């Protein structure tokens, strides 16, 4: 397993957001994490990236214990996140934002090739290359956040609701891109409200409720699980 | 699986329980105080006030809190009167900084306008030499400072955050520097012989119709005894605090709070932010003017040195140190910031060094201030705990 | 009207000299302003103690000159060019190191603990004031609160004369003045290039705009912040040395007003913006000197603050606006 | 500074106090120090001679700042055991506090405040043991015109009570020789704008009416631009601080002062002072010694309250170490006792030159 | 509110008390709920519904030929449509089409380069935000912007204050209006909290509410300003299908209260389920307008936005 989380507790102030969750992500997998608002999905992501320190529990990455590692070290180790809310550097241009994604990498031809790749995936970004990130529309910012995460060439890519705020057509495209990235060898942990889409692409998935993991299984299994259908897939 | 609604609110319930627990913990003392029956609380408050009034006459052997008990110390009631005047200033500034969230670093300017107004119209040594009694100068001072608050506020209040801070700071300096250079303020040299509150030497010929002539001096307020000034200041503080409190707990206070939290959102929710900010400025200014008027008469002499920027910044420090937003905290902060240097006068030249270090240590240990408002305490506690759980490196 | 024509008459002959003097003083403001703007850009914090970062630099270079054997009033002749370069180099390095070190120290002692507690920015302002008071008082104690004179290292030599003719007196421009203005521009250029071209620079700007995301991109926030303080301190050290050469007397309490002016300059140009610091510094120096020439020297500070207020009225984020800061909420 | 002067040897503290008010800290603290020490010396001498009537010295550090002084004055006035004040040292604080001392009927003798109008404000408690700037101003004018043979003089003052008063008097005396006039701000450090004007005026002499904290850097910056002119300043710059501040530029400046050089003081004053404080008596030390002795003589002669002290001071008529001390109705010294001295700055020292005749 | 003086709430909450504790608020809410005798939304129509509304179907807000440029970017290009009283109008379109920008023009945040916006017969552009709010437009934000350190109740009271008049003098002297308006504000808050499903949470700090509740609170706060037109910018972002269901019902309820609703949303199931009419933007231009059934089939909309209709299934 590439990423392993054991028994993680995370608090916000006196509020406990995660109650002893354990999950794992294997090399080359797409793992989805679904759950209602406030279930603790983003908190889990933040804990993996090191933005939140767990009060108990252990996180290992590639066999190494990273529970106490600084967030910037984790990036070097190969974990990169496109966070919820996008976290665009609003004063930097689109291109500078993308270069920030490659902050820990060496400049060179490889980097420029990756840049071109991102521009190919999102032509809109290329158009807006010199526009400050803060003036992009919501959806454009989402593209930028994903593109930026790709620029770090992570071993493990964390995507927190990548489809949020995207137009239907783009959503389909994003999921297509996710599959492509995986095929190029990147492991992906995906948080999604769009459970239908997420589960149908994921190798495995976890369901979170009020800070705990209540169910896990392959994407296909969960997709047909009646309780999951009832709660997350809507009545359609 | 439980229903959506139940699941949904399980989290919220957790949140609420934790919040309730924390409030109880954070309030500890306050809760106990609140649980005492009201008449007892009132009595205790009254006793506190009485104690404050009696303070200049109290000495406790073994506890040398009086500043005149130390070598080269200054008269205790004099120090008390200074602190009381500064408390009044801080209460006014707290309306602007603590309640409306406008970082005004030039507040001292209003205090200066108030003081100079009294000196110019009251002192026989000023060039206008109208020699108005103090009691007549005070309303003039308040009116003038309110007007200057509006004049300063109108163009500056559309600036945000630190830009506002630096512009107000600039204005504060401009007021002081203009006072240094103008003739009515007698420049650098200042205006001596500001009248006492209880004297009047008036000989007016009203339109040539009749003559008003007073000439009295009750000799209650003299340079020899600062206690009457202290008592007067205490009375004013109590009145002003009551007034400010009732404002805080109204639509006005709520609007200030909303502006402080998110000004754009507030105005989109219908808060006329400019108007309320201007009110905060004007009210703050008026209180500043009042304290300036009080200062001028107590100090007898007024010059620009009384209004330097560092003092202005010290007031902000006092408010933050005590706990912004909470009037009693503000009072405490002011007392500490302005009492301790007097108490430690024996450290002689090193006392300001010690003071600077103390400022750092206190704020680092208690960033929420010594006695913050409930709201601020909660906010700070949250932020702190959050920071703790955030990773060490972040 | 008479007043104005009289004043104008006063000002006119000195116009050239005042412009030169104003730009020189402005260059020093600009160098100090760089430090304010850097720290502000990253932490949105008015580093009130930056004036003291500058202050210790002025003492550091004088002390080093003293060690080398050039103290004020020791009767040494103005040294030869080679020695001057050595002295200036040593002085600048010493001042920059001491200033930079002090800046980092202040960060560690007065700000880092608060950052760890996630305290609101106003609290930082108070510890900054505490640090400022403490340092300046400490220097006061150590120097007996007496001013220190600076040895005459560079005999001002006129390099060229600006002679605009009319009734304006020819204004000689000295080697010292040229050096000061050039240093400011070079220093700004280096910093600006560093920020915009280097990886670390990108990191600084990232932290300035969004700390959390910056961490997600692999930026070490603590290191970035220390670096920012260090850079600001280095610039202040250069300013300190130049100040010594230009003004020639220092005292424990010079920091406050100078810091205030420099901060004003930073805001004037658009705080958070390095180019703004340079422009703001030069504009402030120029305007206040011309104002002093026109209204009389005692109005010099009034002119400085009035210009600040006027500029902010029309451009609420300064002449060039802020750039490290955020664009859209 | 030591507080030993308050003890009469056996640790018992004394009944009566006199106070010294002046800058003990602050930008111009150098000018307060000799005054404080001279008063200290006088009190110590008194206490060892009259252990039964020993006196404590209160130090009121006004920093030379008018805005600090009123609080201290009120503190002194409220303290009934203070019978007299030597000071305030500077004119600004004196004019700020005059009405307070008057209100408290507390007699004061300044050994150094020279602004002329201090004595004409109707304060019965005010006295000074030296000549004022109505004498210094004309003397400066005379000296610059006659001894320095200057025909173009640029006058600068610092907007203080002292500076403005003195610049006014000296401008009057200099008349048409004045080719320019400017004012600087206390605490100002960059004088470019003033220097530009000085350069344009190309004066033979620059006369600066103010204190050394600004005088030093000003002299330095004027010289720094290469203008050939003589820098002349009054008692306010007569301190080593002027030389450290101006560094090499101080050399050749000339200082005037209504104070006598310590070595010209009568008796053993200069030697006693040096023995006690391990340094030469500085500016106004002798005058301050005399002022303190007026009060101390009063206490020796049995004065126990302020009214009697005021009466005693007004009737005082005795030789001091600097001059014969006797105050007129305004609290001023007799005109024939007043001598204005000039000093040279030479080799980093301020050295007495001659009295202006 | 004419019957205010007689409600039990007015006696329970003396005006000079500090903000009520959670317990007090809960009590007040209970009483308010009892008084209404049930949950029927129609009961508090009087509280939040706009005072005067144009007849149903008449244009409430009209966007007339609006163009907006940012430098070289044309964000809006001759956009022209209207919102009719009493309807739910959805504004959809690809990312970067100009929806949010259009919103910002309507609410006075941006000034159009050309063209104009009229609301209720009056021109909007150039007016201050608080005036626009008082004219009857309220909005929520794409990223939540509550007053985080204020309680849920206080948040709503700020909204309710939009129509209150107490100012400094009134508060200072405790004039009767001050007390009346405070009580009114509390009552509005209690009712709206219940309406959006946050009963009992009035005393909690906004920042401590779960995300979904914050969204709901934002809607309640906007309703407290008694808007004629309520604008919602992607209110369902980050909701799962079940939650979207609830939101859909809430939006309908709001319309039933008499508010007109303008909705920006990318979730087609929500939009199709709730909107009466839809306006579609692409590259700053209006490319279609009509009822959901029509839009769903419009080939231009399918090509530009919907794509393969898999998602709507
Ligand atoms: N900064 C914070 N302060 C206090 N509580 C917080 C904070 N951030 C999150 N929480 C709480 O922690 C819990 C988990 O939140 P989290 O953001 O991880 O949920 P989520 O599953 O990502 O939900 P969503 O689908 O809304 O993004 C929630 O109850 C939330 O209210
Ligand atoms: N200040 C600005 N400067 C330059 N371009 C801008 C600015 N503001 C918006 N834009 C551009 O205008 C276009 C419209 O943006 P808008 O935010 O209205 O899109 P939207 O329709 O809301 O998209 P989304 O669904 O992604 O939120 C975008 O391409 C955006 O980049
Ligand atoms: C000590 C002296 C320099 C004081 C100066 N003569 C004054 O009047 O202020
Ligand atoms: Mg989330
Ligand atoms: Mg949008």
CATH number for position C53: 1.10.3470
Cβ–Cβ < 8 Å for D63, B212: no
Strands A3-12 and A56-61, sheet pairing: antiparallel
Which of A46, A92, A141 is most worth mutating to test chain C (most C CB atoms within 10 A of its CB)?
Answer: A92
Cβ–Cβ < 8 Å for A163, A32: no
Set out the domains of chain A in order of their start, with CATH numbers. Answer: 1-78+154-236 (3.40.50.300), 86-153 (no CATH)
Burial class (CB in 10 A: 0-12, 13-18, 19+), B158: middle
Model confidence pLDDT, tens digit, residues B335-348: 888 887 777 766 66
% of residues, chain A, pLDDT over 70: 97
Model confidence pLDDT, tens digit, residues D211-265: 999 999 999 889 877 788 999 999 999 998 898 888 788 899 999 999 999 889 9
Q: Which of B14, B30, B12, B8 is nearest to B378 (CA)?
A: B30
Among A129, A136, A142, A163, name the best residue to mutate to test ligand 2's pocket (greatest count of ligand atoms within 8 A of Cβ): A136
Spatial strand order of the sheet with E114-119 comes to: E73-84, E59-70, E114-119, E122-123
Residue B141 has pLDDT above 90, yes or no: yes
How far apart, in whole angstroms, are the C-alpha atoms of residue D106 and residue D81? 10
- Cα C20 vs. chain centroid, distance in angstroms? 18
Q: Is residue C159 part of a domain?
A: no
Q: How confident is the model at residue E1 (pLDDT cuts 50, 70, 90)?
A: very low
| DSSP assignment letter at C108 | I
Burial class (CB in 10 A: 0-12, 13-18, 19+), D6: middle
Q: Do A13 and B386 touch (CB under 8 A)?
A: yes
Expressed in angstroms and rounded, the spacing between residue A159 Cα and the centre of ligand 5 is: 20
How far apart, in whole angstroms, are the C-alpha atoms of residue E231 and residue E254? 12
For residue E9, the model assigns a pLDDT of: 37
For residue E313, the model assigns a pLDDT of: 37
Q: Which of B228, B226, B112 is nearest to B174 (CA)?
A: B112
When pLDDT is averaged across residues E182-209 and rounded to a whole number, the result is 88
How many other C-beta atoms lie within 10 A of the C-beta of residue C77? Answer: 7
Q: Which of D160, D235, D242, D152 is nearest to D197 (CA)?
A: D152
Q: Which of B138, B144, B154, B79 is nearest to B109 (CA)?
A: B144
For residue B347, the model assigns a pLDDT of: 67
Burial class (CB in 10 A: 0-12, 13-18, 19+), C206: buried
Q: Do A135 and E70 touch (CB under 8 A)?
A: yes
Q: Is residue C36 part of a domain?
A: yes
**DSSP element (H, E) containing E139:** strand E137-139
How far apart, in whole angstroms, are the C-alpha atoms of residue D72 and residue D66? 11
When pLDDT is averaged across residues A122-130 and rounded to a whole number, the result is 90
Note which residues in 151-180 of chain C have CB less than 8 A from chain B. Answer: none
Which residues lie closer than 8 Å to A216 by C-beta, 6 or more apart? A23, A204, A205, A206, A207
Q: Which of D167, D217, D213, D169 is nearest to D195 (CA)?
A: D217
- What's the mean pLDDT when you consider all of chain E? 79
Chain E positions touching A137 (Cβ under 8 A) are 95-101
Q: How many domains does chain C have?
A: 1
Chain D positions touching C18 (Cβ under 8 A) are 192-193, 196
Expressed in angstroms and rounded, the spacing between residue D108 Cα and the centre of ligand 3 is: 15
- What's the mean pLDDT when you consider all of chain A? 88
Set out the domains of chain B in order of their start, with CATH numbers. Answer: 36-393 (1.10.3470)
Expressed in angstroms and rounded, the spacing between residue B370 Cα and the centre of ligand 1 is: 31
Indicate the SS3 state at residue A74. Answer: helix
Cβ–Cβ < 8 Å for A188, A31: yes
Residue E47 has pLDDT above 60, yes or no: no
User: Do you know the residue count of chain B?
Assistant: 394
Model confidence pLDDT, tens digit, residues E231-259: 998 888 778 777 888 899 999 999 988 89
How far apart, in whole angstroms, are the C-alpha atoms of residue D296 and residue D309? 10
Indicate the SS3 state at residue D339. Answer: coil
Which of E240, E269, E298 is most worth mutating to test chain A (most A CB atoms within 10 A of its CB)?
Answer: E240
For chain A, helix, strand, coil in percent to 5 are: 40, 25, 35
Per-residue CA distances from D106 to B191, C21, D102, D130, D307 (Å)? 21, 50, 6, 20, 8
Q: Is A55 on the interface with B (CB under 8 A)?
A: yes
Note which residues in 50-69 of chain A have CB less than 8 A from chain C. Answer: 50-51
Residue E174 has pLDDT above 90, yes or no: no
Cβ–Cβ < 8 Å for D246, C249: yes
Strands E88-92 and E277-282, sheet pairing: parallel
**DSSP element (H, E) containing B339:** helix B327-343
Cβ–Cβ < 8 Å for B7, A209: yes
More confident residue, B158 or B230: B230
Q: In angstroms, what is the C-alpha Rg of chain D?
A: 20
- What's the mean pLDDT when you consider all of chain B? 82
**DSSP element (H, E) containing A31:** strand A30-35
Chain E positions touching A165 (Cβ under 8 A) are 95, 142, 234, 237, 266
Chain A positions touching C218 (Cβ under 8 A) are 71-72, 75-76, 80, 103-104, 152
Nearest by CB to residue C215, choosing from A72, A90, A92, is A72
Give pTM, 2 decimals. Answer: 0.83
Chain B positions touching C119 (Cβ under 8 A) are 367, 380, 383-384
Intervals of chain D under pLDDT 70: 1-13
Cβ–Cβ < 8 Å for D200, D227: no
Chain E positions touching A170 (Cβ under 8 A) are 94-95
For residue B21, the model assigns a pLDDT of: 58
Model confidence pLDDT, tens digit, residues D174-201: 999 999 999 998 888 889 889 988 988 9
Which pair of structure tokens corresponds to residue D188? 């100002």
For residue B325, the model assigns a pLDDT of: 73
When pLDDT is averaged across residues E177-192 and rounded to a whole number, the result is 90
Q: Is residue C59 part of a domain?
A: yes
Model confidence pLDDT, tens digit, residues B284-304: 999 999 999 999 999 989 988
Instruction: Work out the angle at residue B129's Cα, subtended by the Cα atoms of residues B123 and B130, and round it to the nearest 5 degrees.
Output: 95
Strand partners, B355: none
Strand partners, E285: E282
Spatial strand order of the sheet with A187-191 comes to: A79-82, A156-160, A187-191, A30-35, A204-209, A212-218
% of residues, chain B, pLDDT over 90: 26
Q: Is residue C328 part of a domain?
A: no
Comparing B56-70, C17-31, C89-103, E276-290, the range with the smallest average pLDDT is B56-70
Cβ–Cβ < 8 Å for B333, B90: yes
For residue D185, the model assigns a pLDDT of: 85
Q: Is residue C279 part of a domain?
A: yes
Backbone angles phi and psi of A88, in degrees to 5: -75, 140
For residue E124, the model assigns a pLDDT of: 81
When pLDDT is averaged across residues B350-356 and rounded to a whole number, the result is 81
Model confidence pLDDT, tens digit, residues A33-81: 998 877 889 899 999 999 888 888 999 999 999 998 989 999 999 999 9
Cβ–Cβ < 8 Å for D310, D321: no
User: Do you know the residue count of chain C?
Assistant: 329
Q: Is A111 on the interface with C (CB under 8 A)?
A: no
Chain A positions touching C324 (Cβ under 8 A) are 91
Burial class (CB in 10 A: 0-12, 13-18, 19+), A79: buried
Model confidence pLDDT, tens digit, residues B249-263: 889 999 999 998 888
- Cα A209 vs. chain centroid, distance in angstroms? 19
Residue E15 has pLDDT above 70, yes or no: no
How many other C-beta atoms lie within 10 A of the C-beta of residue B37? Answer: 8
Expressed in angstroms and rounded, the spacing between residue E235 Cα and the centre of ligand 2 is: 18
Q: Is C147 on the interface with D (CB under 8 A)?
A: yes
Q: Is C310 on the interface with B (CB under 8 A)?
A: no
Among A9, A10, A41, name the best residue to mutate to test ligand 1's pocket (greatest count of ligand atoms within 8 A of Cβ): A41
How far apart, in whole angstroms, are the C-alpha atoms of residue B327 and residue B50? 19
Which residues lie closer than 8 Å to D304 by C-beta, 6 or more apart? D16
Q: Do E178 and B265 touch (CB under 8 A)?
A: no
Model confidence pLDDT, tens digit, residues C120-174: 878 888 899 899 999 998 998 888 777 788 887 777 777 787 777 777 777 778 8
Q: Is A209 on the interface with B (CB under 8 A)?
A: yes
Q: Is residue C160 part of a domain?
A: no
When pLDDT is averaged across residues A194-206 and rounded to a whole number, the result is 89
Which residues lie closer than 8 Å to B79 by C-beta, 6 or more apart? B67, B339, B342
Which of C252, C302, C310 is most worth mutating to test chain B (most B CB atoms within 10 A of its CB)?
Answer: C302
For residue B70, the model assigns a pLDDT of: 67
All chains having 3 or more CB pairs closer than 8 angstroms to chain E: A, B
How far apart, in whole angstroms, are the C-alpha atoms of residue B365 and residue B386? 17
**Ligand 2 cavity residues, CB under 6 Å:** A 128, 131, 135-140, 165; E 70, 73, 75, 93, 95-101
The answer to ipTM > 0.90 is no
Q: What is the CATH number of domain E18-312?
A: 3.40.50.300
The separation between the first and the last C-alpha atoms of chain B, rounded to the nearest angstrom, is: 38
When pLDDT is averaged across residues B135-161 and rounded to a whole number, the result is 90
Q: Which of A76, A77, A50 is nearest to A62 (CA)?
A: A77
Give one DSSP letter per residue of C227-290, joined into a string.
HHHHHHHHHHHHHHHHHHHHH-EE-TTSHHHHHHHHHHHHHHH-TT-HHHHHHHHHHHHHHHHH
All chains having 3 or more CB pairs closer than 8 angstroms to chain D: B, C
E strands present in D87-239: 108-110, 126-128, 153-157, 178-183, 205-209, 230-233
Q: Do D183 and C298 touch (CB under 8 A)?
A: yes
State the residue range of the domain holding C210: 18-147+172-314
């Amino acid at each position: 397993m590439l990423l392993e989380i054991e028994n993680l507790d995370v608090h916000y102030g006196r509020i406990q957001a995660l109650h002893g969750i354990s999950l794992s992500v294997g090399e080359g997998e797409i793992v989805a994490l679904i759950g209602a608002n406030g279930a603790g999905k983003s908190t889990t992501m933040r804990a993996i990236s090191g933005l939140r320190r767990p009060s108990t529990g252990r996180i290992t990455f590639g066999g190494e214990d990273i529970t106490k590692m600084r967030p910037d070290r984790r990036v070097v180790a190969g974990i990169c996140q496109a966070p919820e809310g996008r976290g665009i550097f609003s004063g930097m241009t689109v291109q500078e934002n993308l270069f920030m994604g490659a902050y820990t990498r060496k400049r060179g031809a490889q980097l420029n090739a990756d840049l071109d790749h991102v521009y190919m995936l999102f032509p809109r970004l290329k158009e807006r290359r010199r526009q400050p990130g803060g003036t992009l529309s919501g959806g454009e910012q989402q593209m930028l956040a994903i593109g930026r995460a790709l620029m770090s060439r992570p071993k493990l890519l964390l995507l927190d609701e990548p489809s949020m705020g995207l137009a239907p057509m783009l959503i389909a495209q994003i999921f297509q891109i996710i599959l492509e990235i995986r095929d190029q060898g990147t492991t992906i942990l995906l948080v999604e409200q769009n459970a239908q889409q997420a589960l149908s692409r994921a190798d495995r998935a976890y369901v979170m409720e009020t800070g705990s993991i209540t169910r896990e299984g392959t994407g296909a299994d969960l997709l047909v699980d009646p309780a999951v259908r009832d709660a997350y897939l809507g009545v359609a | 699986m439980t229903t959506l609604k139940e699941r949904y609110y399980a989290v919220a319930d957790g949140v609420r329980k934790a919040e309730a627990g924390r409030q109880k913990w954070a309030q500890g003392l306050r809760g106990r105080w609140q649980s005492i029956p009201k008449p007892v609380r009132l009595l205790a408050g009254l006793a506190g006030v009485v104690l404050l009034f009696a303070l200049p006459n109290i000495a406790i052997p073994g506890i040398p809190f009086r500043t005149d008990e130390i070598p080269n110390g200054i008269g205790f009631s004099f120090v008390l009167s200074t602190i009381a005047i500064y408390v009044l200033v801080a209460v006014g500034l707290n309306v602007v900084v603590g309640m409306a969230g406008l970082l005004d670093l030039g507040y001292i300017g209003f205090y200066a306008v108030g003081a100079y107004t009294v000196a110019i119209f009251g002192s026989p040594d000023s060039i206008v030499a109208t020699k108005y009694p103090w009691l007549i100068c005070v309303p003039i001072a308040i009116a003038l400072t309110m007007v200057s608050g509006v004049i300063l506020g109108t163009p500056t209040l559309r600036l945000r955050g630190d830009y506002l801070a630096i512009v107000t700071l600039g204005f504060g300096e401009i007021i002081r520097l203009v006072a240094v250079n103008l003739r009515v303020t007698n420049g650098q040299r200042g205006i001596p012989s500001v009248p006492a509150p209880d004297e009047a030497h008036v000989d007016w010929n009203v339109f040539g119709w009749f003559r008003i002539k007073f000439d009295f001096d009750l000799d209650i307020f003299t340079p020899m005894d600062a206690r009457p000034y202290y008592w007067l200041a205490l009375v004013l503080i109590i009145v002003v605090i009551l007034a400010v409190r009732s404002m805080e707990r109204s639509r006005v206070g709520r609007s200030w709070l909303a502006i402080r939290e998110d000004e754009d959102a507030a105005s989109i929710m219908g808060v006329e932010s400019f108007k309320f900010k201007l009110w905060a400025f004007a009210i703050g200014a008026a209180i500043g003017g009042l304290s300036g008027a009080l200062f001028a008469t107590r100090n007898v002499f007024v010059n620009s040195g009384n209004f330097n920027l560092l003092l202005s910044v010290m007031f902000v420090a006092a408010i933050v140190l005590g706990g912004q937003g909470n009037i009693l905290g503000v009072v405490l902060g002011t007392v500490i910031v302005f009492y301790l240097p007097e108490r430690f006068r024996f450290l002689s030249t090193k006392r300001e060094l010690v003071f600077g270090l103390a400022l750092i240590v206190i704020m680092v240990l208690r960033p929420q201030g010594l006695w913050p408002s409930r709201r601020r305490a909660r906010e700070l506690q949250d932020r702190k705990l959050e920071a703790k759980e955030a990773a060490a490196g972040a | 009207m008479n007043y104005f024509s009289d004043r104008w008459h006063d000002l006119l002959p000195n116009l050239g000299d005042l412009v030169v003097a104003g730009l020189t003083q402005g260059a020093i403001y600009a160098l100090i302003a760089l430090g304010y703007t850097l720290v502000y850009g990253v932490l949105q914090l008015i580093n009130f103690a930056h004036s003291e970062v500058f202050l210790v630099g002025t003492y550091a270079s004088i002390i080093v000159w003293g060690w080398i054997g050039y103290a004020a009033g020791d009767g040494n002749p103005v040294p030869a060019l080679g020695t001057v370069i050595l002295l200036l180099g040593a002085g600048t390095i010493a001042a920059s190191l001491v200033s930079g070190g002090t800046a980092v120290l202040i960060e560690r002692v007065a700000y880092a603990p608060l950052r760890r507690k996630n305290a609101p920015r106003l609290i930082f302002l108070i510890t900054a004031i505490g640090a400022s008071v403490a340092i300046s008082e400490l220097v006061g104690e150590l120097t007996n609160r007496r001013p220190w004179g600076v040895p005459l290292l560079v005999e001002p030599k006129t390099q060229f004369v600006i002679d605009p003719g009319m009734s304006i007196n020819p204004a000689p421009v000295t080697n010292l003045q040229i050096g000061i203005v050039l240093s400011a521009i070079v220093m700004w250029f280096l910093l600006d290039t560093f920020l915009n071209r280097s990886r670390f620079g990108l990191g600084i700007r990232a932290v300035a705009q969004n700390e959390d995301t910056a961490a997600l991109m692999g930026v070490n926030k603590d290191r970035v912040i220390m670096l920012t303080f260090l850079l600001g301190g280095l610039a202040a050290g250069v300013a300190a040395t130049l100040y010594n050469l230009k003004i020639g007397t220092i005292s424990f309490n010079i920091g406050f007003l100078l810091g205030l002016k420099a901060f004003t300059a930073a805001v004037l140009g658009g705080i958070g913006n390095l180019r703004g610091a340079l422009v703001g510094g030069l504009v402030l120096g120029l305007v206040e000197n011309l104002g002093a020439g026109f209204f009389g020297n005692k109005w010099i500070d009034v002119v400085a603050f009035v210009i600040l207020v006027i500029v902010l009225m029309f451009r609420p984020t300064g002449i060039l606006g802020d750039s490290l800061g955020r664009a859209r909420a | 500074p030591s507080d030993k002067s308050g003890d009469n040897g056996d640790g018992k503290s004394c009944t009566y106090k006199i106070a010294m008010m002046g800058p003990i800290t602050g930008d111009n603290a150098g000018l307060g120090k000799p005054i404080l020490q001279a008063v200290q010396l006088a009190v110590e001498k008194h206490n060892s001679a009259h252990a039964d009537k020993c006196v404590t010295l209160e130090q009121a550090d006004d920093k030379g700042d008018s805005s600090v002084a009123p609080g201290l004055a009120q503190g002194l006035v409220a303290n009934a055991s203070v019978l007299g004040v030597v000071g305030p040292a500077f004119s600004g604080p004196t004019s700020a506090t005059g009405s307070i001392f008057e209100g408290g009927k507390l007699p004061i003798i300044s050994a150094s405040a020279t602004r002329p109008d201090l004595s004409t404000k109707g304060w019965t408690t005010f006295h000074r043991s030296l000549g004022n700037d109505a004498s210094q101003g004309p003397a400066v004018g005379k000296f610059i015109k006659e001894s320095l043979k200057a025909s173009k003089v640029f006058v600068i003052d610092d907007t203080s009570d002292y500076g403005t008063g003195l610049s006014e008097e000296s401008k009057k005396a200099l008349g048409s020789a004045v080719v320019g006039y400017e004012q600087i701000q206390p605490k100002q450090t960059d004088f470019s704008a003033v220097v530009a004007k000085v350069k344009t005026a190309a004066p033979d002499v620059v006369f600066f009416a103010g204190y050394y904290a600004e005088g030093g850097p000003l002299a330095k910056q004027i010289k720094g631009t290469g203008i050939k002119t003589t820098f002349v300043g009054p008692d306010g710059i007569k301190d080593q601080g002027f030389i450290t501040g101006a560094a090499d530029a101080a050399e050749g400046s000339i200082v005037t002062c209504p104070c006598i050089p310590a070595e010209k003081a009568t008796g053993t004053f200069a030697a006693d002072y040096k023995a006690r404080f391990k340094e030469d008596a500085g500016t106004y030390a002798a005058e301050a010694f005399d002022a303190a002795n007026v009060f101390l003589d009063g206490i020796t002669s049995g004065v126990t309250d302020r009214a009697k002290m005021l009466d005693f001071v007004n009737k005082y008529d005795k030789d001091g170490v600097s001059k014969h001390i006797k105050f007129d109705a305004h609290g001023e010294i007799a005109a024939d006792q007043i001598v204005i001295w000039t000093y040279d700055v030479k080799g980093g020292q301020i050295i007495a030159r001659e009295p202006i005749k | 509110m004419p019957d205010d003086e007689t409600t039990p709430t007015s006696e329970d909450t003396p005006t000079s008390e500090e903000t009520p504790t959670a317990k007090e608020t809960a009590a007040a809410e209970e009483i308010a709920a009892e008084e209404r005798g049930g949950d029927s939304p129609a009961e508090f129509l009087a509280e939040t519904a706009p005072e005067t509304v144009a007849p149903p179907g008449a244009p409430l807000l009209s966007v007339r030929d609006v163009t907006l440029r940012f430098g070289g970017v044309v964000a809006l290009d001759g956009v022209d449509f209207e919102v009719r009283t009493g309807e739910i109008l959805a504004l959809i379109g690809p990312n970067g089409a100009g929806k949010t920008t259009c919103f910002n023009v309507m609410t006075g945040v941006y000034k159009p380069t050309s063209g104009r916006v009229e609301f209720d017969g009056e021109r909007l552009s150039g007016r201050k935000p608080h005036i626009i709010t008082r004219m009857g437009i309220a909005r929520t934000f794409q990223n939540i912007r509550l007053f985080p350190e204020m309680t849920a109740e206080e948040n709503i009271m700020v909204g309710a204050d939009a129509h209150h008049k107490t100012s400094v003098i009134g508060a200072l002297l405790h004039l009767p209006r001050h007390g009346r308006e405070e009580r009114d504000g509390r009552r509005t808050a209690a009712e709206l909290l219940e309406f959006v499903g946050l009963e009992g949470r009035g005393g909690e700090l906004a920042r401590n509410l779960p995300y979904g509740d914050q969204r709901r609170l934002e809607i309640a706060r906007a309703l407290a300003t008694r808007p004629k037109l309520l604008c919602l910018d992607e209110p369902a972002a980050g909701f799962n299908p079940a939650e979207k269901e609830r939101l859909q019902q809430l939006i309908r309820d709001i319309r039933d209260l008499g508010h007109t609703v303008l909705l920006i949303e990318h979730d087609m199931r929500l939009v199709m389920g709730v909107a009466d009419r839809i306006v579609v933007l692409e590259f700053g231009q209006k490319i279609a307008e009509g009822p959901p059934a029509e839009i769903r089939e419009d080939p231009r909309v399918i090509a530009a936005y919907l794509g393969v209709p898999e998602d709507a299934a």
